[in-house]
Structure 1
Amino acid sequence: MSRPRKHSLTLGGHRTSVSLEDEFWAGFKALAAHRGLGINELAREIDAARGQETGLATAIRLEVLRFYRDRA
């Protein structure tokens, strides 16, 4: 598994970054494509649904995990 790397996103017109491993970033992009969304749109949905105690990178990892778990 790779080390986390920073990836840029735009949420609500503001640039932000998340640190994700390459494998999770690839899964995030695959999930966005599966849902017919751009990565910023999907990140916005995940951001809106996460609790305050959960960081965005963690919320993205969990969503990617759910996506692949549900496909198994």
Structure 2
Amino acid sequence: MARPVKHSLTLSGHRTSVSLEAEFWRAFREIARIEGRALNALAAEIDAAREPGTGLASAIRLHVLAWYRDRAEPPAA
């Protein structure tokens, strides 16, 4: 598995660093592009909605997972 890569994001005017695996960064950027949103805006929305005690990187990973799961084909019965 790839090691996390650190990138800076701006949330509510403040810079923060987030470490995600390259695959998650690609998926996160793809989601923002498909939705026509800035990456920082999407990150700020995820940040505002995350549960207390959940790190931003984990919240982004969970958002990416949920986004793709919502679009996946339902399993065959």
Q: TM-score, normalised by structure 2?
A: 0.89
Cα deviation per residue 1:12-62 (whole Å; 9 max; x = unaligned)? 111101000000000100111122111000000000000121000000000
Distance 1:52 1:66 in 2: 19
Residue type at the aligned position of 1:32? A
Stretches (4+) displaced over 4 A: none
Q: The residue matched to 1:37 in structure 2 has which SS?
A: coil
Residue type at the aligned position of 1:71? R
The alpha carbon displacement at 1:2 in A equals 1.3
**Equivalent residue for 1:28?**
28
Residue type at the aligned position of 2:36? G
Of all paired residues, the percent bearing the same amino acid is 67
Distance 1:33 1:67 in 2: 13
**Equivalent residue for 2:43?**
43
**Equivalent residue for 1:16?**
16
Structure 1 regions of 5+ residues with no counterpart? Answer: none
- Bigger radius of gyration: 2
